[in-house]
Amino acid sequence: MATAVNKPLPIVVLISGRGSNLQSIIDAVAAGELPVEIRAVISNRPDARGLQRAAQAGIATQVIDHNSYPDRAAFDAALQTTIDDYRPRLVVLAGFMRILTPAFVSHYRGQMINIHPSLLPEFPGLNTHQRVLDACRKETGATVHFVTEETDGGPAILQTHVPVLPGDDADSLAARVLEQEHRMYPVVIRWYAEGRVQLDPEGRIRFDNAPLERPRLLDSEAGAPC
C-alpha cells in the first residue's frame, strides 16, 4: 500500500549518453506522477545529450569527466563529492556507463538503483541484445535493481518481459526493451519515494514491509505492476 509523501524525495541522476530514461523520469515528475525533486543530473561525458534534456527542464547539470582523473578511484571520489553536495536520498543510474568502485557503492548502499536491459541475472554487462540473439532466446526484458559491488548483480526490484521477434536485430530489440524501461523506472522510483521498497541490512529487498522473494513484474498489457 502506498504511503503519503509529504516532501518530494531529492534524487540525483547519473548519465553517460542520450538520457532517454532520464527523460521518462522528467516527464513523470512534470505530470505529477512522481514525488521527487531532481536536484542534479551528472554525466561523465561532456557531450552527453541528456545534459541538454536536463537543462531544458531547468535541472542543474554537472560534468565530471572521467578522462580528467588518473584512475577509477580518483574519479569516483570526485563524483561522490559532487553528488553529496546535492544531498540526495536516492542516486539513479540512467545509462551511466562506468563500473563503480566498491567504496563508492558502499557509500550509497540501499540508496542507489540501476536499470539494465535484460532479465538479470542473465546477460549482465554490455552488448546485451546481441548476446540475447546469439543465444537464440525467445524472450528478454529489463530489470531495475539496487546497486551492489557486483556489476549488474544487485537484488532485483522490478522486471518486465519482452518477446524476441522473428527478424529482430540488436537495434530493433533494444528499441522495444527501451520502451519498457521508460515505463519501469518511474514506477520503482515512486515506490522508493513512498517508502514501499528498501534494502534491509542483510542485503535483501523488503516491499510493503515484507520480504520480496522474487522481482515484481510489470504487466506490459495493463501497464501496471502485478
Please, are residues 80 and 100 in contact by the beta-carbon 8 Å criterion? no
Distant-in-sequence, close-in-space partners of 117: CB < 8 Å, separation ≥ 6:
128, 129, 140, 142, 174, 177, 178, 181
CA dihedral angle for residue 95, residue 14, residue 214, residue 121, rounded to 10 degrees: 40
- Residue closest to 97 by CA, chosen among 36, 44, 23: 44
Question: What are 117-139's pLDDT values in tens digits?
Answer: 999 999 999 999 999 999 999 99
Please name the helix (run of DSSP H) or strand (run of DSSP E) that holds residue 115, with its range, or none.
strand 112-116
Integer distance in angstroms from the first to the last C-alpha of the chain?
Answer: 13
Question: What are 48-79's pLDDT values in tens digits?
Answer: 999 999 999 999 999 999 999 999 999 999 99
Segment 82-93 shows an average pLDDT of: 98
3-state secondary structure of 17: coil
Q: What angle do CA 51, 142, 203 make, to 5 degrees?
A: 95
Segment 184-189 shows an average pLDDT of: 98
- CA 20 to chain CA centroid, Å, is 11
Q: Which residues have a catalytic role annotated?
A: 116
pLDDT reading at 3 higher than 50: no
**Angstrom distance (rounded) from CA 16 to CA 48:** 6
- Residue closest to 146 by CA, chosen among 136, 137, 138, 154: 154
- Residue closest to 208 by CA, chosen among 157, 148, 163: 157
Q: Which three cell numbers stand for residue 160?
A: 518486465
Domains of the chain: 9-225 (3.40.50.170)
**Angstrom distance (rounded) from CA 188 to CA 100:** 22
Distant-in-sequence, close-in-space partners of 222: CB < 8 Å, separation ≥ 6:
none
Confidence at residue 219, expressed as pLDDT on a 0 to 100 scale = 74
pLDDT reading at 99 higher than 50: yes
Question: What are 160-176's pLDDT values in tens digits?
Answer: 999 999 999 999 999 99
Q: What angle do CA 123, 125, 131 make, to 5 degrees?
A: 45
